[in-house]
Amino acid sequence: MHNPPALALTPAQLDQVHELPYEQAVHPYYLAQGPVKAIVTIRFGLTTHRGCYGECNFCAIAAHQGRMIVSRSEASIVREAASFKNHKSFKGIIPDVGGPSANMYRLDCRRKAVKGACPDKRCLFPERCQQLSCDHGPQLKLLKKLRELPGVKRVFVASGLRVDLFDDHSDAYLKELITHHVSGQLKLAPEHSVASVLRLMGKPDNSSLLRFKQRFEQINREAGKPQYLSYYFIAAHPGCDESCMQAARSFASRELGLIPEQVQVFTPLPSTWSAVMYFTGRDPFTGESLFVEKNQHRKQKQKDILTAKPEAASSRVAPEPKMGYRTRHARQKR
């Protein structure tokens, strides 16, 4: 038995939740056990919205927070930021202003506002729906107000961005981010490069990523800023084998100019389509059989293929452990 999900909070309710008088501190019980590094990132970070239009098959955010964006009011976010100056640990740095995807704040779909989410169509896959607005003006206005607050020195956008929400009219937004709101690196999540794996992930192809990278680097050169892009990848997603990871490594080296460091071995999360693929070995949308890597050593091997430094290429994968007596004996008994 499963209870239906709670209704999404309204913007007013979201404002109220985030403006409660939180301590912005680690609980004394945990602090007694030593420093908690995560507090540095979240203590003075600002959540601008909930929900995600992406609906990636491996991600549970849409299931948890909804397929519609609920944004806080600008006034509420500014009030929360202004309250930071009263905290003894605040040094004038707001490390993140964002949500599941930072550049979805106040992006609206005319159809969703009236009829709710489409039952048989996604907003961003296989391509962006034309009903979805890509106006980043409200976020630009918000960021400008935040950095003008007394006592605020820098305001950063550290949450990941959806590059497929940038179009030919997004230059002003990108220039503003690069000039004022990048702390050295901007996070992107292409996740893979092989078309068949991206389709199973519910991710678009990498054409928008490469266009964004080219424009990001051009604007940085013009601004004289040594800033970079960092990329998240997933290894061992259903449908992905070692040859796919070799192709992803070649793509990263050739097109992105790096060897990825931020690579996660796929985890089948409850309520996600990718978990269905993992446990059934089938594509739930076509019924086709899929290769699914379930051996832990070979999952790690997929990750190692992508992350190994060039000088270690010949020995980047450790040999598979030999089967011990207990393992052999257990198999013989079965």
* The pLDDT of residue 119: 87
Q: Most distant CA pair in the chain: distance in Å?
A: 72
At 245, the amino acid letter reads M
Q: CA angle, 76 as apex, 73 and 78 as ends, to 5°?
A: 110
Q: List pLDDT tens digits, range 28-84.
A: 999 999 999 999 889 999 999 999 999 999 999 998 999 999 999 999 999 999 999
Q: CATH number of the domain at 1-183, please?
A: 3.30.750.210
* The pLDDT of residue 1: 64
Reply yes or no on whether the pLDDT at 316 is more than 60.
no
CATH 3.30.750.200-classified regions of the chain: 189-317
Q: Average pLDDT in the 314-323 region?
A: 49
* The pLDDT of residue 233: 98
CB burial of 86-118 (b: ≥16 within 10 Å; e: otherwise) equals eeeebeeebbbbbbbbbbbbbbbbeebeeeebe
Reply yes or no on whether the pLDDT at 314 is more than 60.
no
Mean pLDDT of the chain: 91
* The pLDDT of residue 329: 43
Which class would CATH give 189-317? alpha beta
* Cα Rg, the chain, nearest whole Å: 22
Q: List pLDDT tens digits, range 112-136.
A: 878 888 988 999 999 999 999 899 9
CATH 3.30.750.210-classified regions of the chain: 1-183
CA pair distance 65, 272, nearest whole angstrom: 13
Per-residue pLDDT band at 169 (split at 50, 70, 90): confident
**Alpha helices (runs of H) in 72-160, residue ranges in sequence order:** 74-83, 110-115, 137-147
Q: Average pLDDT in the 292-318 region?
A: 83
* The pLDDT of residue 197: 99
Please name which of 167, 63, 45 lies closest in space to residue 107, comparing C-alpha atoms.
167
* The pLDDT of residue 7: 86
